[in-house]
């Protein structure tokens, strides 16, 4: 009798969660709700928030509607704008962390330096020298969190203030200064209008122009917020409306659905035509690739900013950075007091630079030396009992990472439940399942706009997009239940 009860009782896995951005917060909440309470939550910094903690640049906002960029179980009636500003999102993360007991669970200032697997156990070590042994590791380390500095000759010789947008130096006074911004991507489109208000002269160094969708950042009044608080169903309907629009319009526009692509292409092209008066400037700002090939920028202020009298759009390539500023190919030296690097991130680092080793001592750098590949975005072959949240081929093109994380969380909980029921001790993806999934992704890419002739952070070093090439609805359906035949399950004696 006692033996039978022991055999049928659910096991309680030891789990290490790495990172406390929106995904790490979610995983901590949902694992505890599922009865998995033997958790260690490690965070490299001193507070929650992930990218919304790291980034504090002027104009920082999310390009997903705020009422959709929330956990499905914690809707927020108090967003101040259609596209929430960064500080407000960070406050929301901190509020959720406190309300659901996440903050008290986190071990802050514990940067993970190594994660080593051996026979069903992961040994995770932090920079402080603390060691944790776990049955599973969940990497909630995010995507855009390692700033990329451009490899430009002379970059270390500049004598003025210089910083990356993700490392904004708020001690630098911008008022009346000669400021240069390298880059015109999503971040720069938010930064430039704010900096232009303060600069004496702003030089914007553009390598590649961007398509811009002109949606104003509507402000919600106190009366609006009160209605959402008093009538939660109104808030749910608003969220559903945003979800429908993005799923059926924007997502389909970039994954090969021609009517939607035509609509967004027309909107972006007409926006450029009617927003920029000077024909020469307009042509400088006109991309030569399909709308959506790069992430569509949602912005209503950038075109106005680059037409200000104190702003110059520089399209001649940068030759070098000098002690005084930037020299371009036309021979001009643009003298600067402040240089802002809006040059993106090392988006394929994922959990790296940690020393991560799977079966037979295989390192993650060795495993990904030729190609970064995962099964269902979550599983890395030869790294058993280890999950990578928001990995390659997560549908991150113009959708909410919170919604993506909730889908992936549900998938992982089903895997963990099988472990708790003693159906396996070690789970690893079958090589043929990985190959089949990779072919499936490649087949879908030919119809998408991401192969539309541009360079972007969507592309891996081989130039292949690492996004989900199908609809959101299809992804949700395929992620609903794990296909267990795609895994190698091992039980240890």
Region 418-439: mean pLDDT is 97
Residue 274 pLDDT exceeds 70: yes
User: What's the rounded Cα separation, in Å, for the pair 81 and 65?
Assistant: 9
Q: What is the mean pLDDT of residues 330-355?
A: 93
Please say if the pLDDT value at position 129 is more than 50: yes
Cα 349 to Cα 53, 136, 138: the distances in Å are 19, 21, 16
Residues in a beta bridge with 124: 115, 132
Tens digits of per-residue pLDDT, 77-87?
999 999 999 99
312-340, pLDDT tens digit by residue? Answer: 999 999 999 999 999 999 999 999 999 99
Asked if pLDDT for residue 5 goes beyond 50, the answer is no
Q: Which fold has domain 2-146+346-490?
A: FAD/NAD(P)-binding domain (3.50.50)
**pLDDT confidence of residue 480:** 98
Q: Which fold has domain 155-220+256-341?
A: FAD/NAD(P)-binding domain (3.50.50)
The model's pLDDT over 455-492, given as tens digits with 9 standing for 90+, comes to 777 777 777 778 899 999 999 999 999 999 999 999 99
Name the token pair of 123.
Answer: 């040994």
Q: Is the pLDDT of residue 397 over 80?
A: no
Output the six-digit token pair for 252. Answer: 């389909």
Model pLDDT, residue 464:
79
Task: Using the CB atoms, write b or e for 125-161: b if 16+ within 10 Å.
Answer: bbeeeeebebbbbbbbbbbbbbbbebebeebeebebb
Pairing, β 161-164 against β 426-429: unpaired
Residue-level pLDDT at 8? 67
Q: Which of 125-134, 282-291, 392-401 has the lowest mean pLDDT?
A: 392-401
Read off the pLDDT of residues 433-457 as tens digits, 9 standing for 90 and up.
Answer: 999 999 999 999 888 888 877 877 7
Could you report the per-residue pLDDT of 155-189, keeping only the tens digit for each? 999 999 999 999 999 999 999 999 999 999 999 99
- Residue 364's pLDDT is what? 95
**For residue 270, how many other CB atoms are within 10 A of its CB?**
11
Structure confidence at residue 4 (pLDDT): 43
Q: pLDDT at position 396, please?
A: 83
Task: Give the whole-angstrom CA distance, residue 105 versus residue 32.
Answer: 11
- pLDDT score of 146: 85
Paired strand residues for 345: 147
Tell me what the pLDDT averaged over the chain comes to.
94
In this prediction, residue 389 has a pLDDT band, given cuts at 50, 70 and 90, of very high
Chain length of the chain: 493
Mean pLDDT of 280-298: 94
Which residues of the chain form CATH 3.50.50.60?
2-146+346-490, 155-220+256-341
* pLDDT over 90, % of the chain: 86
Q: Each residue of 57-70: pLDDT tens digit?
A: 999 999 999 999 99
Question: What pLDDT, on the 0 to 100 scale, is given for residue 260?
Answer: 92
**Nearest residue to 298 via CA among 144, 166, 193, 189:** 189
């Amino acid at each position: 009798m006692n033996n039978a009860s022991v055999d049928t009782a659910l096991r309680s896995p030891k789990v290490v969660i790495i990172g406390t951005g929106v995904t790490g917060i979610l995983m901590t909440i949902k694992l505890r709700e599922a009865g998995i309470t033997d958790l260690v939550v490690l965070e490299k910094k001193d507070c929650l928030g992930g990218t919304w903690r790291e980034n504090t640049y002027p104009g920082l906002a999310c390009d997903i509607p705020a009422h959709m960029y929330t956990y499905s179980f914690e809707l927020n009636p108090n967003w101040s704008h259609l596209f929430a500003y960064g500080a407000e999102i960070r406050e929301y993360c901190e509020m959720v962390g406190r309300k659901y007991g996440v903050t008290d669970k986190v071990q802050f200032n514990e940067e993970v330096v190594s994660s080593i697997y051996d026979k069903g156990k992961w040994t995770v070590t932090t920079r402080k020298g603390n060691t944790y042994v776990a049955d599973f590791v969940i990497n909630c380390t995010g995507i855009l969190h390692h700033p990329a500095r451009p490899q430009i000759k002379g970059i270390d010789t500049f004598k003025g203030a210089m910083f990356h947008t993700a490392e904004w130096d708020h001690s630098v006074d911008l008022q009346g200064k000669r400021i240069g911004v390298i880059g015109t991507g999503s971040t720069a489109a938010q930064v430039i209008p704010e900096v232009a208000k303060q600069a004496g002269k702003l030089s914007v160094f553009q390598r590649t122009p961007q398509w811009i969708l002109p949606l104003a950042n509507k402000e919600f009044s106190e009366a609006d917020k009160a209605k959402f608080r008093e009538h939660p169903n109104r808030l749910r309907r608003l969220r559903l409306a945003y979800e429908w629009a993005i799923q059926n319009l924007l997502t389909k526009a970039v994954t090969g659905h021609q009517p939607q692509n035509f609509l967004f292409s027309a909107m972006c092209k007409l926006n450029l035509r009617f927003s920029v008066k000077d024909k020469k400037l307009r042509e400088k700002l006109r991309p030569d690739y399909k709308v959506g090939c790069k992430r569509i920028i949602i912005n209503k202020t950038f075109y106005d900013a680059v037409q200000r009298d104190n702003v110059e759009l520089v399209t001649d390539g940068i030759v070098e950075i000098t002690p005084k500023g930037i020299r371009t190919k036309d021979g001009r030296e643009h003298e600067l007091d402040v240089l802002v690097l809006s040059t993106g991130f090392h988006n394929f680092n994922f959990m790296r630079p940690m020393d991560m080793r799977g079966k037979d001592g295989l390192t993650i750098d060795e495993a990904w030396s030729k190609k970064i590949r995962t099964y269902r975005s979550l599983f890395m072959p030869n790294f058993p009992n280890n999950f990578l949240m928001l990995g390659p081929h997560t549908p991150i093109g113009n959708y909410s990472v919170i919604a993506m994380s909730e889908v992936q969380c549900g998938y992982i909980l089903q895997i963990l439940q099988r472990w708790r029921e003693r159906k396996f001790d070690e789970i690893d993806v079958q090589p043929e399942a990985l190959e089949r999934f990779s072919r499936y992704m490649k087949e879908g890419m030919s119809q998408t706009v991401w192969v539309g002739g541009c360079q972007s952070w969507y592309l891996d070093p081989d130039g292949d997009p690492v996004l989900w090439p199908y609809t959101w609805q299809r992804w949700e359906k395929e992620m609903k239940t794990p296909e267990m035949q795609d895994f190698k399950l091992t039980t240890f004696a």
